[in-house]
Amino acid sequence: MAEKVKLPINPSIPSGEQTVWADISFLLDSACEGLRDGELIHGENFNLFAAMSALEIMDPKMDSGIVRRYYSVDEAIDSGAAPIPLSSDRTLDVQCVIDIMDHLLSCEATWHKGHSLAQTVFSCIYLLKPDRTTSHALLHSYCRVIRATCNLVVSVVSDARTNEEEDLFTMTYGLPLKGDGDEKCLSMLHAVEETIARQLRACKAPPSKRRVVEDMEPLQTNPDLEEEYCKALLCRIRFRKHFFHALTAMRRPQGRGLELARKHIASCLSELDSILKSSKFLCSNACGTCEDGLEDRTTASGCQPIGFDASLNCRLSAPTPPRAIKILSWIKGVEYFQKLLHDLDILCSYSLDPLLEGVLHFVIEFHKFQPDLVARAHLQVLLIHDGKLYGRDPVFTVISKAAALPEVLKDYEIQNEVLGQLGQLVINLLKILCTNAAWQRRKLGKILQDWRVSYMQLELGFKKEFREISSTLDENLCAKISKHILIWVEEQTYWIASRFLSLGFDLELYSPSEYCMVYWYMYVVFIRLAEKTHLKMLTSHETGKRKAKKKKDSLKDLARDYQIPPGVLLLQCHIYLAEALTMMLAALRNEHKVFTSLGPFNTELERFNQHFELLQKASIPDHMSFFSYEESTMNTRLSNPVMLNCFKDAQRIAKELRSSFSHDPEKMAELRRIEQVAEHNGVALNLICRNSSTASGDGEFWRSGSARDGVLGSPDGFRRVSIWVRSTWPTGMVKSSFDGDGDGEFFRDMKVRRDLGV
Amino acid sequence: MEPAVTAKEGEMTVELEGSEIEYVSYGGEHHLPLIMRLVDEELSEPYSIFTYRYFVYLWPQLSFLAFHRGKCVGTIVCKMGEHRSTFRGYIAMLVVLKPYRGRGIATELVTRSIKVMMESGCEEVTLEAEVTNKGALALYGRLGFIRAKRLFRYYLNGVDAFRLKLLFPRRELHTSLQMMATKNENHEEMHLLQENFCS
Ligand SMILES: CC(C)(COP(=O)(O)OP(=O)(O)OC[C@H]1O[C@@H](n2cnc3c(N)ncnc32)[C@H](O)[C@@H]1OP(=O)(O)O)[C@@H](O)C(=O)NCCC(=O)NCCS
């Protein structure tokens, strides 16, 4: 065959100085003849594993070369793929430039959402040759601002870099990301904006006044369309301008530009609205109607943009099989930017709380909006800069406040290696909390051990080091520092553990048959967390108290000393809830064989060890193992009154706490949810118990009931009981309904409810 | 493992008795086209023939085919090996033709592979499945796999994956102390390199 087909050797890939192109088809053919199926000729370092990454040449599913339309950007340009101007008809030219702008927005959103820059934004041929566009001021300035914006975003994300999600995002190899003069993009864009604004004014002016501005050349040739085209361009240009400004302002150190950024963000959002509105005009102009809808279109007009070819950059991406990237639709692209801007706005309105507790709270709340990479990267560079909180507060200051060190000690510079490490742990923690939930959970699991080790080192190190270093401090103070810090480190460790466990719900890592052990684990972790938090407050209180005594404060104040702080009480609610849910699930398992987990290959022990391996490794908590879990749930019966009391207590405390948190809507919502879960389950439990006691045989009542939806519907009997378990701790719930066929599928309808608006 | 092609609604199904299905271990090059055709049909990712060969040549005992009246209707392809001081099995591909689903064929295929892994000294079995692949998740869940972690945008279609894991009971009789000294297996980063072979 090889003799018959003479392959043309493509001259656009030149031979090197000491290399020439040669046809080896004949050699391959004769080699093949000697081989049988499944045999492989290979070098020593080429094994079957390496063979897997082999690409089959000439297979369009594998070979990125053969799906490429052009060999190079120059060839594409020579073939007229990206003309300048886009059309000699100036109206058409404007229309085409708008399409490019829109498609670029879709591409940019697609990039932010996790595809490579090369195959999204830089599929635009105009962007790839920065100098070519010079003669077209509008296109040129727009390309510049796009490149500059991409550059800015890449730099934020690289600064925040923590995991592979960012790696793909910041892969810019071979792309002309920094065109000469792109830094002047704003002034160029401004000039273009000015011109179009004047053109808009000119076409709107009454005929009598037109003479004044007559020397003004219109944007394009059709006077009927002039106004709308000017408007369509203006909002697009202004959006880019404000977006660039907003990003620049956000990068100012110590959050100094946040207020300014908010103004630009607001402008961006309003320009986006105008962009959306312009679609109607552009659409009707381009194709006559807008009827087809815009679901899949990447431009406002619905037209295919000129000058894009994603395959041109194939060679820049890793040698993987070619995969077509689906660019987000224009509507989805605009929606993405709206969401991004809202997320950034939340960041910009943050008050830069100097207390670590407040920072952590803010970050956790921020995650509820499910921010994408770009917003999270901004969060991180805002929080941590120059190794300081907000680039402002030294970590030790942050820790002293968090650990509630006595005032006298706060200013004292303690140079201690272990404390330095602790500072690093805090910084790492904050960075990890800015990553996506999946990655975050894995990392949190791993750093638990670091925190544990750090605790032990601190414990050992404090006594020794303080004596050596701080001869100026009296020993009493040293003891105090170590006590405060140690308690705080433990508290923080348990906080991380509880975040780790609750993220498992968010990520849907637990199946219903595992809920029981997860609740049990949360229960034991919450207890330790509450203990440490309480201890911390008591310790700092003691210090404060002594001062207060000196000031001879009233007896009333002293009486207040013994009240448990609301933060601890809230934890207490969670403890009750977790305890009750554990018991309830255990009892249902023990007595009714639901929520069991029987596999042919392993037991609950293995599943427990797998789920909590990282916690167990870090001894969180001490002396807790599968056997503690087994022991505490093995004999639980539904008749155990503790369960119901726990639900009641959770409900009661949540009610009482309302007054303490009335200023905090999120906490209020959390309290409401706790009350509801506790109440629902209390009712469900009563119902189950009542039916249990009247049922004839074990598990009989499941089948004997007549009414459906016993809990919510009819109280007189049931086939189906709903209990409320928490899917995301502490925000959402899962309603697990199961009916009593004993061995069937119990989870016919598991609905995740973000909010419990029954 | 790669995302499955979305199943079409209203596919016809075949009536059959459980005993009509015959399970055979991978038997040589003549089985390769059967496996390839099945996987090509049901999974979205293009695999080169080298990918199949890597698995079936090195671990033929872990691959099985299910036949119905001479027609190959299901297959499983796996591997095993040392992974950061753990010896573990890995399920790479599992497919049952649509008309034959819901009859326990996949369960039987997986069970056979896992048994061989267990006998070969594996301590655990892992795989990845798309978070949206309800069927596969239910199937593995019933076999005792847990969702050990979620992998962010693991697949090229942007969908997350779960890493599923099945830990075998330790063979020796153990005290609670031994039990707590769990193995060291911090592995996901390397793991991606080694096992996400096709993307
Ligand atoms: C996943 C797949 C292999 C299952 O094959 P199968 O032969 O139908 O599976 P089984 O009959 O052994 O099912 C066993 C159990 O899994 C669960 N299951 C399987 N398919 C399910 C579905 N679509 N929805 C819910 N549960 C399902 C059920 O619990 C079932 O037990 P049951 O029938 O007693 O209730 C098959 O659907 C397939 O080939 N899918 C496309 C490829 C794929 O997704 N592969 C796995 C990639 S990780």
Higher pLDDT, A205 or A470: A205
The residue of chain A nearest to residue B165, with distances taken between CA atoms, is A610
The pLDDT, as a whole number, for residue A87 is: 94
- A538 in a domain, yes or no? no
Report which of A340, A354, A466 is spatially closest to residue A399, judged by C-alpha positions: A354
Q: Which of A346, A376, A392 is the last residue of a domain?
A: A346
pLDDT level of residue A295 (50, 70, 90 thresholds): confident
The pLDDT, as a whole number, for residue A287 is: 67
| Those residues with Cβ within 8 angstroms of residue A553's Cβ, 6 or more apart along the chain or in another chain | none
Q: Looking at ligand 1, which atom is closest to the CA of residue B142?
A: 29
Determine the average pLDDT of the residues in A312-318: 67
Report which of A71, A75, A54, A72 is spatially closest to residue A63, judged by C-alpha positions: A54
Q: What is the pLDDT of residues A473-521, one digit of tens each?
A: 566 777 778 888 999 999 999 999 999 999 999 999 999 889 999 999 9
Q: Which of B143, B152, B158 sits opposite A601 (nearest CB)?
A: B143
- A536 in a domain, yes or no? no
The residue among A37, A168, A613 with the most chain B CBs within 10 A of its CB, best to mutate, is: A613
Same domain, A573 and A714: yes
The pLDDT, as a whole number, for residue B188 is: 33
Q: What is the pLDDT of residues A679-701, one digit of tens each?
A: 888 888 888 777 665 433 333 22
- Partners of B72 in beta bridges: B67
Determine the average pLDDT of the residues in A638-651: 91
Same domain, A750 and A669: yes
Higher pLDDT, A88 or B16: A88
Structural domain that includes position A78: 73-346
- A572 in a domain, yes or no? yes
Nearest CA to ligand 1 atom 4: B106
Show which of residues 595-614 on chain A sit within 8 Å of chain B, judged by CB atoms: 597, 599-603, 605-607, 609-611, 613
The pLDDT, as a whole number, for residue A470 is: 55
Contact between A438 and B198 using a beta-carbon 8 Å cutoff: no
pLDDT exceeds cutoff 50 at A387: yes
pLDDT level of residue A724 (50, 70, 90 thresholds): low
Same domain, A378 and A317: no
Contact between B48 and A52 using a beta-carbon 8 Å cutoff: yes
Contact between A442 and B48 using a beta-carbon 8 Å cutoff: no
The residue of chain B nearest to residue A513, with distances taken between CA atoms, is B141
How far does residue B101's CA lie from ligand 1's centre (Å)? 7
Torsion from C-alpha of A249, A255, A259, A265, nearest 10 degrees: 50
| B68 and A CB contact within 8 Å | no
Same domain, A291 and A393: no
The pLDDT, as a whole number, for residue B186 is: 34
Instruction: Kindly report whether the peptide bond that precedes residue A566 is cis, defined as omega within 30 degrees of 0.
Output: no
Q: Looking at ligand 1, which atom is closest to the CA of residue B109?
A: 12
| B148 and A CB contact within 8 Å | yes
Q: Which of A113, A436, A609 sits opposite B152 (nearest CB)?
A: A436
Assign 3-class secondary structure to A404-421.
Answer: CCCHHHHCCCCCCHHHHH
Same domain, A366 and A431: yes
pLDDT exceeds cutoff 80 at A130: yes
The pLDDT, as a whole number, for residue A84 is: 94
Print pLDDT tens along chain B (199 aa): 555 554 444 455 666 665 789 999 999 999 999 999 999 888 767 788 888 999 999 999 999 999 999 999 999 999 999 998 999 999 999 999 999 999 999 999 999 999 999 999 999 999 999 999 999 999 999 999 999 999 998 877 788 999 999 999 987 544 433 343 333 333 333 333 333 333 2
Same domain, A78 and A154: yes
pTM across the whole model: 0.85
- A15 in a domain, yes or no? no
What is the number of domains present in chain A? 3
Higher pLDDT, A184 or B124: B124
Determine the average pLDDT of the residues in A231-252: 97
The pLDDT, as a whole number, for residue A24 is: 87
Distance from CA of A599 to the nearest CA of B (A): 5
Determine the average pLDDT of the residues in A249-266: 96
**Chain B hits for A508, Cβ within 8 Å:** 131, 147, 150, 162
Determine the average pLDDT of the residues in A28-41: 83
pLDDT exceeds cutoff 80 at A62: no
Q: Which of B51, B169, B186 sits opposite A602 (nearest CB)?
A: B169
- A46 in a domain, yes or no? no
Determine the average pLDDT of the residues in A332-344: 98
- A545 in a domain, yes or no? no
Show which of residues 5-24 on chain B sit within 8 Å of chain A, judged by CB atoms: none
Contact between A52 and B156 using a beta-carbon 8 Å cutoff: no
- A654 in a domain, yes or no? yes
* Helix A566-592 vs helix A515-550: crossing angle, to nearest 10: 160
The residue of chain A nearest to residue B32, with distances taken between CA atoms, is A38
- A12 in a domain, yes or no? no
Same domain, A147 and A192: yes
CB distance B138 to ligand 1 below 6 Å: yes
Q: Which of A461, A476, A509 is the last residue of a domain?
A: A509
| DSSP, residue by residue, A147-194 | HHHHHHHHHHHHHT--SHHHHHHT--TT---S-TTGGGHHHHHHHHHH
Same domain, A367 and A330: no
Percent over 70 (pLDDT), chain A: 79
CB distance B96 to ligand 1 below 6 Å: yes
pLDDT exceeds cutoff 60 at A443: yes
| DSSP, residue by residue, B29-84 | GGGHHHHHHHHHHHBSS---HHHHHHHHHH-GGG-EEEEETTEEEEEEEEEEEEET
Determine the average pLDDT of the residues in A139-156: 96
| DSSP, residue by residue, A60-99 | TTT-TTTT-S-SSHHHHHHTTSS-SSS-SSHHHHHHHHHH
Least confident of A29-38, A228-237, A299-308, A358-367: A29-38
Report which of B30, B165, B100 is spatially closest to residue A514, judged by C-alpha positions: B165
The residue of chain A nearest to residue B137, with distances taken between CA atoms, is A511
**Chain A hits for B150, Cβ within 8 Å:** 437-438, 441, 507-509
How far does residue B135's CA lie from ligand 1's centre (Å)? 4
Round to whole Å and give the CA distance between A327 and A115. Answer: 9
Round to whole Å and give the CA distance between B118 and A194. Answer: 74
How far does residue B99's CA lie from ligand 1's centre (Å)? 12
| A18 and B CB contact within 8 Å | no
Same domain, A340 and A398: no
The pLDDT, as a whole number, for residue B184 is: 33
The pLDDT, as a whole number, for residue A31 is: 86
Q: Which of B53, B179, B198 sits opposite A48 (nearest CB)?
A: B53
User: Long-range contacts for A5-10 (Cβ within 8 Å, ≥24 apart)?
Assistant: A10/A71
Contact between A439 and B152 using a beta-carbon 8 Å cutoff: yes
- Partners of B95 in beta bridges: B75
Same domain, A291 and A380: no
How far does residue B189's CA lie from ligand 1's centre (Å)? 29
Tokens representing residue A379 in the block: 């969060």
Determine the average pLDDT of the residues in A21-34: 87
Same domain, A405 and A298: no
| B114 and A CB contact within 8 Å | yes
The pLDDT, as a whole number, for residue B3 is: 54
The pLDDT, as a whole number, for residue A418 is: 74
Q: Which of A313, A329, A346 is the last residue of a domain?
A: A346
pLDDT exceeds cutoff 80 at A563: no
Same domain, A337 and A404: no
